A and B are shown apart, each in its own frame.
Chain A
Amino acid sequence: AQSVTQLDSQVPVFEEAPVELRCNYSSSVSVYLFWYVQYPNQGLQLLLKYLSGSTLVESINGFEAEFNKSQTSFHLRKPSVHISDTAEYFCAVSPIIQGAQKLVFGQGTRLTINP
């Protein structure tokens, strides 16, 4: 079984400041890792994913996440946030085994950007 822990339920930051949203997971098998973003009253959008290869993955809007196998972490970072980044961010994993698998989500981190 898998579990995901997002250590911060809320993260307030000022506009243009850097931010890190933390994510740790537990799994007895290898996993794929994902970050999803949920804007108010909307569904989830895939922000970025780690499937294989380079452990540093980037999104088109400036976010990046690094897979650290030894620390079982997949923290999300952005060097300079914008008001439009205000949203809830969910870390998720799915096991790398035959066939499609359910996603296991963390509790979410609410990112609030203050002007």
Chain B
Amino acid sequence: NAGVMQNPRHLVRRRGQEARLRCSPMKGHSHVYWYRQLPEEGLKFMVYLQKENIIDESGMPKERFSAEFPKEGPSILRIQQVVRGDSAAYFCASSPVSKSPEQYFGPGTRLTVT
């Protein structure tokens, strides 16, 4: 059973460009979470999605950031007009059912904004 997949693993963008980060949950998992890890800090929750629904986006910055989890295909975290402060590791996690507290993490996407 493949784990949570994220791509790309490393992404370099210039200021003002768009970044698209992809996450494929584990097989059978329908819940996806995105977390951001800034340098020398712990992980901070960004958004929780189920298929075609955003359940909790309380951790998402109000502007430039969006997330989706379509019926088919991976979950996408999109950052428009990136700035240097967006440089971080972005982790996706998945869980199987709504009552399962365990989350399984992908390897992360390391975004560098130059």
Chain B 77-114 interface residues, beta-carbon cutoff 8 Å to A: 91, 93, 95, 97-108
Chain B 47-83 interface residues, beta-carbon cutoff 8 Å to A: 48, 55-56, 59
Whether B31 is near chain A, meaning CB under 8 Å from some CB there, is: yes
Residue contact A103 to B91, C-beta cutoff 8 Å = no
Q: Which residue of B lies closest to A93 (CB)?
A: B101
Q: Which residues of B contact A108 (CB under 8 A)?
A: 41-42
Given known A104-B45, A106-B42, contact A43–B99 (CB-CB < 8 A): no
Interface size of A by CB at 8 A reads: 25
Residue contact A105 to B44, C-beta cutoff 8 Å = yes
Residues of B in contact with A (beta carbons under 8 Å apart): 4, 6, 31, 33, 35, 41-45, 48, 55-56, 59, 91, 93, 95, 97-108
Residues of A in contact with B (beta carbons under 8 Å apart): 6, 32, 34, 36, 42-46, 49, 51, 90, 94, 96, 98-108
